[in-house]
Amino acid sequence: MEIKDSIIDLPVQDPENEEFSSVDLTWTKFGSTDQLVDEVALIPYERVDAFINGECNNIECPTRFHIERGRKREPGSLKECKDDEYLLYRLYWCSFGPENYGEGGSILPSRRYRLNTRNRAARPQSMRGCTCHFIVKRLYARPSLALLIYNDRRHVNKSGFVCHGPLDRDAIGPGAKKIPYIGNEIQQQTMSLLYLGIPEENVLQTHIEGIQRYCGSNAKVNSLASQYVQKLEMIIKRSTHELDLDDQASIRMWVERNRKSVFFYQDSSETDPFILGIQTEWQLQQMIRFGHQSLLAAHSSFGISKLKYPLYTLLAFDSRQHPLPVAWIITRTSAKRDVSKWMKALSDRVRAVESSWMVSGFIIDDAAVEVDPIRDVFRCPVLFCLWRIRRSWLRNVVKKCSNIEVQREIFKRLGKIMYSIWDGSDSVVSLEEFIQDFVDQTAFMQYFKESWVPKIDMWLATMKNLPLASQEASGAIEAYHVKLKTKLYDDLHLGSIQRVDWLVHKLTTEIHSSYWLDRYADESGSFQTVKEEYISSTSWHRALQIPDDDVILDDKDHLFAKVVSQEDGDHRHLVWNPGSEFALCSCSWSMQGNLCKHIIKVNMVCQKKHSDYHPSMSFQSFREILLKFWRKVVDDSIALDQSVAWTKQMHDTIQRLVELSNSNNIGSVVRSLPVKWVSKKGRTFAGKPAAYTLALPPSKESASQRKHRKRKRLSRLRGGSA
Ligand SMILES: [Zn+2]
Ligand SMILES: [Zn+2]
């Protein structure tokens, strides 16, 4: 066959079937250089999904394809281009590949000390080393067309053998070739259900439903599926975190076996501290999906006194704005150099898949956190969240002061010190007065003077300098904290709490499974109870369920509010100091130090009555930013025009975001949008809008950098894609 060096006269093929695959297309040999010749075909860009679906439903090798790599170019960014240059580039790989860690792993464990030899069987059967992959290029010069490039159409491994599907003659284990193939998703589902203790018959039923997609239904399949589920359950029961008696060796082995879930690893040595960065393939996908043009939050220094190394979690906010852990970092170091290293590795990993990925803001929860690495790596503004300081103070107030009235008053006054940032009063004076007034509360004062007074300036300065995150964000991060604590410390293996391998095991099995299943239940509509529990897992969401009429404000002095109990209509919860983050509620959830739904609901109601109550801290900090912005003097020049354009764009973006979050019918908001929505079909559904850029400039930036960035943004604005 002739080898073409241009695609300009290739015919556009558009098969009639709803789905089609490579066999329905005529392929042309194409080579732009001497070295490589690929087979290519040209189809309408809007039919790409139909092609991918067709390739997935291959009878001989049913599979799914995932995006292994992606790149994007802005329209108008190239002056000259070849006819096969891409606007959008995606490398799709068969999900039974590309890696194969199951065989020939280079490092074998120190077997003498190995406690559990059955562990190896728990390796994912889905990694089969399949080499089948193809490329989809949306053409730069002709965006309505997609160029398909196939390197290898066969589902074979590197040795050239068929490696999955009914034709695979070399499946693992006796009789295994008859076992229906279990893709990643079904395996994850079955494992999650087992980890979460769902009864075996229910697990089996959903498992069978899952695999029938690949192989139809018959008695043999069902009995094999039942064996599989039993085996998996046994493996899970017997699996142990201890791969070696020595914790450090055990972790090394875990890292070796789970390379795909490790984005950064540095063993402790004389010069370097221990750092382990964990992110599963699924977490990576979620970080891309929910983090892009949205927020990330850090939940830092968990277990600082109990665990061998503290845990640092990066959270994204999912489609319900619930917290979703997208990466875990286990380390004791918070030095700039070390933080930069793992953050860079993480961001590189994400951008290798989606080069245009960017976050709009990064929320930190500890004033001692180094913000420079965040600004350098993620290139976004840093926000501050109050949840940690609020929680520590409240827990200690409740624990160390016995009188409820004293508790309320102390907590209110602590809030006042915080609010002094905006009301012009001197925080040092407020602090001194506070210590004077409650000098008889010796237990609390001792704690406060030891733990907070020395660093209160730093905390107040951080809160003053950084924009503050909302109560919804506080509630979400706290919800993650509470779940983590329950799952980690409520364990029979508590003797292992000082072992890192135990923490890794716990995170990557039970906790990962639980978040996976939450998302799956919500998106697929299955597992109704899991779904309901997941939806009501944040205090913000629970607050939304309380009717306005159930909130009774004390309109005279604004000292307290009452909320009708949702469980017992005769009971009222008393919320002291309404309208403030430092409100204290009489319910048991609040008395344990949590931000309860009653406080959030009361504050929602108070916010509507602006004139009577002072606005929330996050709102005050937002207003402060806008005012500073507004007061900036600009001359009547083109620089002013640029600022106007930029401000307008920001205003529109914020307005749309607000509209979107207040709307019950997202569709109507979407339809009125002027910008074209990027279709993300294929990788995600029910995803977040991609068309927003909300990026306030980081505060510590030189004017020239700012100007450069502004120019870039404006050029993007002119290019028509925000
Ligand atoms: Zn394959
Ligand atoms: Zn409450």
Ligand nearest to the CA of 63: 1
Q: Do 456 and 431 form a contact (C-beta atoms < 8 A)?
A: yes
Centre of ligand 2 from the C-alpha of residue 565, in Å? 9
Cα(236)–Cα(190) distance, integer angstroms = 11
How remote is the CA of residue 577 from the centroid of ligand 2, in Å?
Answer: 13
- Residues 598-610 have pLDDT tens digits of 999 999 999 887 6
Torsion-angle region of residue 136: left (phi > 0), alpha (psi -120 to 50) or beta? beta
pLDDT classification of 684: cutoffs 50, 70, 90: very low
- Please name the residue that has the structure tokens 């520590």: 392
Extract the tokens encoding 56. Answer: 């997935």
Instruction: Read off the tokens for 579.
Output: 């309208």
Q: Is 659's pLDDT higher than 50?
A: yes
Side-chain half-sphere exposure of 409, counting CA atoms within 13 A? 11
Identify whether the C-beta of residue 5 lies closer than 8 Å to the C-beta of residue 145: no
More confident residue, 174 or 255: 255
Q: Which parts of 328-441 fold into alpha helices (H)?
A: 336-353, 372-378, 387-400, 404-423, 427-437
18 near 24, Cβ under 8 Å?
no
Backbone angles phi and psi of 348, in degrees to 5: -60, -40
Predicted local distance difference test score (pLDDT) of residue 668: 63
Please enumerate in sequence order all residues whose Cβ is within 8 A of that of 542, keeping only pairs 6 or more positions apart, or say none.
Answer: 536, 597
CA–CA dist 580, 414 (Å, integer): 11
Helix H or strand E segment including 383: strand 382-384
For residue 418, what are the CA distances in angstroms to 106, 427, 428, 464, 474? 56, 8, 11, 9, 16
Structure tokens at 686: 């029910």
Nearest ligand to the CA atom of 586: 2
The yes-or-no verdict on residue 36 having pLDDT over 90 is: no
The β-bridge relationship of strands 275-278 and 295-302 is unpaired
pLDDT band at 7 (very low <50, low <70, confident <90, very high): confident
Which residue's structure tokens are 């926000």? 383
- Dist. CA 652–CA 675, nearest whole Å: 11
pLDDT at 240: 73
Q: Report whether 625 contacts 696 (CB < 8 A).
A: yes
Which of the four pLDDT bands, split at 50, 70 and 90, describes residue 628? Answer: confident
Question: 146 alpha carbon to ligand 1 midpoint, in Å?
Answer: 22
**What residues have CB less than 8 Å from 301, skipping those under 6 apart?**
310, 312, 366
Contact 541, 604 (CB under 8 A): no
Q: What is the pLDDT of residues 265-302, one digit of tens each?
A: 999 999 999 999 999 989 999 999 999 989 999 999 88
Q: Is the confidence at residue 722, as pLDDT, over 80?
A: no
Interatomic CA distance for residues 426 and 292, integer angstroms = 40
* Confidence at residue 106, expressed as pLDDT on a 0 to 100 scale: 32
pTM of the model: 0.71
Mean pLDDT of 169-187: 53
Helix (H, G, I), strand (E, B) or coil at 687: coil
Distance CA(572)–CA(242), nearest Å, equals 50
Ligand nearest to the CA of 64: 1
DSSP 509: I
Residue 360 CB coordination number (10 Å): 21
Least confident of 196-205, 286-295, 375-384: 196-205
Using CB atoms within 10 A of its CB, is residue 579 exposed (0-12), middle (13-18) or buried (19+)? buried
Å from CA of 597 to ligand 2 middle: 6
Q: How far is CA 262 from the centre of its chain?
A: 16
Looking at all shown ligands, the one closest to residue 601's CA atom is 2
DSSP E strands in 496-651: the ranges are 551-553, 560-564, 572-576, 584-585
Tokens found for residue 435? 């210590």
Encoding tokens for residue 382?
Answer: 């840093």
Determine the distance separating the centroid of ligand 2 and the alpha carbon of 657, expressed in angstroms.
Answer: 29
Higher-confidence residue of 79 and 579: namely 579
Over the stretch 86-95, which tens digit does the pLDDT of each residue have? 999 999 888 7
Beta bridge partners of residue 262, listed in sequence order: 278
CB proximity list for 61: less than 8 A, separation 6 or greater: 94, 132, 155, 162, 164, 165, 167
**Is the pLDDT confidence value at 584 over 90?**
yes
What pLDDT, in 10s, does the model give residues 103-154? Answer: 333 322 322 222 333 333 223 345 677 888 999 999 998 899 999 998 778 8
Amino acid at 403: N
Q: What's phi and psi for 331, nearest 5 deg?
A: -170, 160
Compute, in angstroms, the gap from residue 305 CA to the centroid of ligand 2. Answer: 29
Give residue 99 CA to ligand 1 midpoint distance, Å. 11
What single-letter amino acid sits at 100? N
Alpha-carbon distances of 538 from 182, 220, 278, 283, 392, rounded to whole Å: 34, 44, 25, 20, 19
Type of residue at 81: C
Confidence (pLDDT) at 511: 92
More confident residue, 684 or 182: 182
- What proportion of the chain, given as a percentage, has pLDDT over 90? 41
Question: Which range is least confidently modeled, 46-50, 517-521, 613-617, 661-665?
Answer: 661-665
- pLDDT for the residue 701: 43
Higher pLDDT, 415 or 159: 415
Mean pLDDT score, 564-570:
90
Give the distance (Å) from ligand 1 centre to CA of residue 151.
13
Per-residue confidence (pLDDT) for residue 23, from 0 to 100: 87
Ligand closest in space to the Cα of 591? 2
Question: What is the pLDDT at residue 610?
Answer: 63
CB under 8 Å to 641, separation ≥6 — which residues?
none
Q: Which of 66-70, 353-357, 360-364 has the highest mean pLDDT?
A: 360-364
What ligand is nearest to the CA atom of residue 587? 2
20-29, 113-122, 189-198, 380-389: least confidently modelled range: 113-122
Phi/psi for 298 (5° steps) reads -100, 130
**CB atoms < 10 A from the CB of 569, how many?**
9
DSSP 277: E
User: What pLDDT was estimated at residue 74?
Assistant: 85
Strand order across the 572-576 sheet: 551-553, 560-564, 572-576, 584-585
Confidence of residue 375 (pLDDT cuts 50, 70, 90): very high
Distance from Cα 91 to the centre of ligand 1, integer Å: 14
* CA separation for the pair 205, 200 (Å, rounded): 9
Mean pLDDT of the chain: 81
Strands (E), 115-190: 133-139, 145-152
pLDDT band at 672 (very low <50, low <70, confident <90, very high): low
